[in-house]
Amino acid sequence: MTDAERLIARDDAVIAGVEKLRFFPLAVESGRGERLIEPGGRALIDLSASWTASGFGHGHEAIAAAIAHAAVDAPGASILSATHPSAVALAEQLIALVPSDLPPHARRVYLGHAGTDANDVAIRGCRHATGRPGILAFQNGYHGGLGTAQRISGVHVSAGVTADPAVAFLPYPDPYRPHTGDPATVVDDVLRLAAVELARGETAAVIVEPVQSDGGVIVPPPGLLAGLRALCDRHGAYLIVDEVKVGLGRTGRTHAFEHEGVVPDIVTLGKALGGGLPLSAAIGPAEVLDEPVASALMTTTGNPISCAAALAVLEIVRSGVATRNARERGDQLRGLLDEYVRSGRPGASRVGDVRGRGLSLGLELVADRRSAEPDAVLTAKAVYRAWQLGAVAYPVRGNVIELTPPLTISAEAIDRAAAILTAALDDAALGAVSDEEIAPFQGW
């Protein structure tokens, strides 16, 4: 038994299955930049960045230094019953970073542990501020893994989770589906449905991802966010934009909603915000986030170590270097994958689409390009084979390989990653991975 196999056996014996989403037998001992190191020393290119939570790479020197400094002289572990400078500074900087039509004194920041609680607090705050119960969300959307945030996540509800009793789900405009028609018409159809729901006068908020990540890396056609903004203004509902996965530079802009020039009422952040530590934020109006007082209590929220990491992250974001790299490396990776699709190699005909923005890319796999029938089995085998060859990537929506490497990834690593991915696709299409090999891994 190898060192990695021993670690996995120990994991099987003690770690709860309810928190496992596994696609291949990956065990990681350390990381540096875009590399993950397995027990035994094998290095892999990380094309997930822990679902973007390690968005600025593993062991980033500035983030690590900030964490170490904060841990030496930490002023407690909470903002629950006392404040401290790092939490206040972080909130001030988030208000400055996230655009709004409101003046700074009319805005507040909720600091949490994950996108789940940031979205939960935002939803509950909108309901309290408006006195309305209704929430408008989207099919296949993902806003959290527990509580209210899970129950308004279409991806969970479609898998059997009981929906929030006051949520209505709209179809997310997907220009990649066959026979969807003109993209502008698709958006107009969705906005008409939204208008009908909002006209009932019972909707507190609309919550939307600017790129639907776990729903298949769907970039909506232009007009969706702008149309929702206009409808929310007309009917007195709040617009919540969930930037937990694609925010802070990943799409080539600081905020993904900037691609449409829209200003949300509330923005939620998480994952990369903590530089690998648990941290999230909801930034929005004081009327939403101030009341009821003491209604969202978790002891270690706003802890100074996570806040110090986030302050280092925001300094990186403000410099613009990682955001520019996301744009350039995203173009590079997409170009290499598009070239593969045209190559005639064994797996190329099984790629239905390459899509996304910046370093949030999706590689959709199909039975054949003519029918565009999703092929979840091939996708599971392709990511398994990629792990065998030295890259880590995970599937979403069953048949889409999501590619979200650290925003600091180098051009050379992108070249190597594309070579591994395309070889994995060829091998999987040719039968290199058996059904038995992927059977132990339940994935989604």
Q: Would the pLDDT of 23 be above 70? A: yes
Of 267, 292, 319, the residue at which a domain comes to its end is 319
161 is a domain residue = yes
CATH assignment at residue 140: 3.40.640.10
Q: What percent of the chain has pLDDT over 70?
A: 99
The pLDDT assigned to 179 comes to 54
Q: What are residue 423's phi and psi, to 5 degrees?
A: -65, -40
Distance of CA 285 to the CA centre of its chain: 23
Contact 357, 219 (CB under 8 A): yes
CA proximity to 364, closest of 416, 425, 411: 425
Q: What are residue 127's phi and psi, to 5 degrees?
A: -65, -45
Q: What percent of the chain has pLDDT over 90?
A: 95
Winning range, highest mean pLDDT, from 182-191, 293-302, 403-412: 403-412
CATH assignment at residue 34: 3.90.1150.10
Contact 149, 115 (CB under 8 A): yes
The pLDDT assigned to 442 comes to 75
Q: Would the pLDDT of 276 be above 80? A: yes
One of 142, 172, 340, 394 is an active-site residue; which one? 142
151/51 same-domain check: no
For residue 223, the SS3 value is coil
Q: Residue 72: which pLDDT band, with cuts at 50, 70 and 90? A: very high
Q: Would the pLDDT of 181 be above 80? A: no
36/80 same-domain check: no
312/332 same-domain check: no
Contacts 24+ apart (CB under 8 A), 177-183: 177/372, 178/372, 183/221, 183/222
Q: Would the pLDDT of 281 be above 70? A: yes
For residue 351, the SS3 value is strand
69 is a domain residue = no
DSSP string, 226-294: HHHHHHHHHHT-EEEEE-TTTTTTTTSSSSGGGGGT---SEEEE-GGGGTTSS-EEEEEEHHHHS-STT
pLDDT single digits (tens) 375-387: 999 999 999 999 9
Q: Would the pLDDT of 350 be above 70? A: yes
**Residues 312-321, mean pLDDT to the nearest whole number:** 98
280 is a domain residue = yes
213/290 same-domain check: yes
Q: Residue 191: which pLDDT band, with cuts at 50, 70 and 90? A: very high
Domain hosting 341: range is 3-59+321-438
Please report which helix (H) or strand (E) contains residue 433, including its range: none
User: What is the value of pTM for the model shown?
Assistant: 0.96
350/401 same-domain check: yes
294/431 same-domain check: no
Q: For residue 134, give both structure tokens.
A: 């209704």
DSSP string, 3-52: HHHHHHHHHHHHS-GGG---SS-----EEEBTEEE-TTS-EEEESSTTTT
412/263 same-domain check: no
CA atoms of 56 and 407, how far apart (whole Å): 5
282/345 same-domain check: no
pLDDT single digits (tens) 122-180: 999 999 999 999 999 999 999 999 999 999 999 999 889 999 999 999 999 998 876 56
122/81 same-domain check: yes
205/195 same-domain check: yes
pLDDT single digits (tens) 27-57: 999 999 999 999 999 999 999 999 999 999 9
Residue 142 annotated as catalytic: yes
Q: Would the pLDDT of 365 be above 70? A: yes
315/328 same-domain check: no
pLDDT single digits (tens) 241-265: 999 999 999 999 999 999 999 999 9
443 is a domain residue = no
The pLDDT assigned to 239 comes to 98
The count of structural domains within the chain is 2
For residue 367, the SS3 value is coil
pLDDT single digits (tens) 196-205: 999 999 999 9
268/142 same-domain check: yes
Of 276, 300, 319, the residue at which a domain comes to its end is 319
Of 270, 297, 319, the residue at which a domain comes to its end is 319
Q: Residue 114: which pLDDT band, with cuts at 50, 70 and 90? A: very high
